Every structure is written in structure tokens, then in C-alpha cells.
A = this chain, B = another copy of it.
Amino acid sequence: MADGISRSGGTEHEVLAAVLQVRVGSLQVLLWQRAREPHAGRWALPGGRLRPTEDVETSIRRQLAEKVDVQQLAHVEQLAVFSAPDRVPRPPRVVATAFLGLVPCDVDPAVPADTAWHQVAELPPTAFDHGAIVLRARNRLRAKLSYTNLGFALAPRKFTVSALRALYSAALGYRVSATNLQRVLSRRGLLEPTGHTAPSGPSGGRPAALFRFTGKGLEVTDPFAVLRPPRAAKDDAGE
């Protein structure tokens, strides 16, 4: 049976990350343009091969911090394994562990010359199966925005409700009501007023109050009822 201890070889393992950020009102992903074959000229996700002494989480963080200057990732989580035998054209066969990474919208990390942000809704030609990975990342983000407080990873430390509304709208792809957003997040105990206000815009208007997310880690905000243990129990739930 499964022994987990023997030799076959021929299978490489790489880690990839779809790093998402809301920029100028749209959800974008960090891609770099391949110079060499295969798929020269196409756009690929940052990442690289797994080293013998690191686990996949450590590896993707190293690759992102090292090759692309992205220290300020607010969140990183496993997405899925992509393992179609022909996902890279030539041998050796490469299995990829894909990650979702999120960057707050108030930073603009320096990136190498071959690297750029692209709208998720309008991807350039992508290398290998990276296009599919980006879509999976977007879907995961959208789902989790609804039932977790993952939004904190897209927002600056302090923000106005309307700025947050713009973030959610961009990530989700449809309009959201600022009123409702604030009330929902507040009642879940995720939103907290800082007491300060932002300067009002060039066309006047009431100055907006600044909020921050409360440090609640990454909790599932009450998935459903069906049967709720009176008021307790909440393991990782995770992905």
C-alpha cells in the first residue's frame, strides 16, 4: 500500500501565487512576462521551485519576497494543486501548489521590469494554466469576502466606509450598498471607528469617519445556522 517511502523521480514541484490587489478601481493580479521558451512572451504567475528544506507556505513567501518585491502581503492561503500531466508542455512533469495572495490597496510595491499588474477581468495571454489559477483565486476571494473578514487584507489600516465599499465592489464585480456594508460588518464586530475623520473631497461633502478592522484573525463569520452549537465551537474551517 501507500508507503510514502520510495523512489520514482521525474516529478518536480513548484509553488505559484496569484497576488491580487484592487488598483484604480479594478481587481488586478501580478504577472511577469516570460522571456524564454516555452511560452515566451506570455504572462506568468510569480513563483518557483520548492526547495528541499521548506514547506510550500515558506517557499511561496520566499519567492514573492525575493524575486518580486512584495513584503507587504496581508494574506496568503493555499488555493489548490494543479497537476494535469501536460500542464507544462515538455518533461519533466511539474505539479504546482497555487496560492492566493492579497495586498492592501494603499501600497504600491516596486516590481522588476518584466513584472506588471493586469486586470483580472482582462488578462493578457497567460502561460501554462496560470490563467485558470487566477480565476480560481478570484473566485475564492469573492466567496470569502462574503462569509469571512478577508476584506481586511484588501483594505488599508484605516479607511472610510465609501472607500471600503469601492474595494468590495471592485473585488466582487458588482455594486454594494455602503450603508448595508457598514452595518453588516459592524454587527459582526469586524469594524471599529478610529474616532478620526478623513478630509472631505475637493467637491465638499461631509468628511468621512475613519474605520479599521478589528483584529479578529481570519474567522468564519457565522457560516449558517441549520444547527448552531449554542454559541461556541469554531475550528479552522479554513478554505
Binding site for B on A (CB under 8 A): 1-14, 16, 32, 36, 38, 44-50, 52-57, 63, 67, 78, 80-81, 83-85, 88, 90, 92-97, 114, 128, 135-136, 139-140, 142-143, 145-147, 168-169, 172-177, 180-181, 184, 220-221, 223-227, 229, 233, 235-239
Contacts and interface: CB of A to CB of B under 8 A. Distances in A.
Contacts of A237: 139-140, 142-143
Contact of A1 (B10, B46, B80, B96): B46
Given A95-B13, A147-B147, A239-B239, A5 B88 contact: yes
Nearest to A50: B11
Which 6 pairs show the lowest CB-CB distances between chains A and B?
Answer: A176-B227, A239-B239, A2-B48, A146-B224, A143-B237, A55-B83
Nearest to A98: B81
Contacts of A32: 1
Contacts of A97: 81, 83, 95
Nearest to A10: B52
Given A7-B92, A50-B95, A139-B236, 17 more contacts: A1-B32, A2-B48, A5-B90, A5-B94, A10-B52, A11-B13, A52-B93, A57-B83, A78-B80, A136-B236, A143-B238, A147-B224, A174-B227, A177-B227, A180-B225, A221-B224, A239-B239
Contacts of A128: 4
Contact of A2 (B44, B55, B181, B229): B44
A226 B149 CA distance: 11
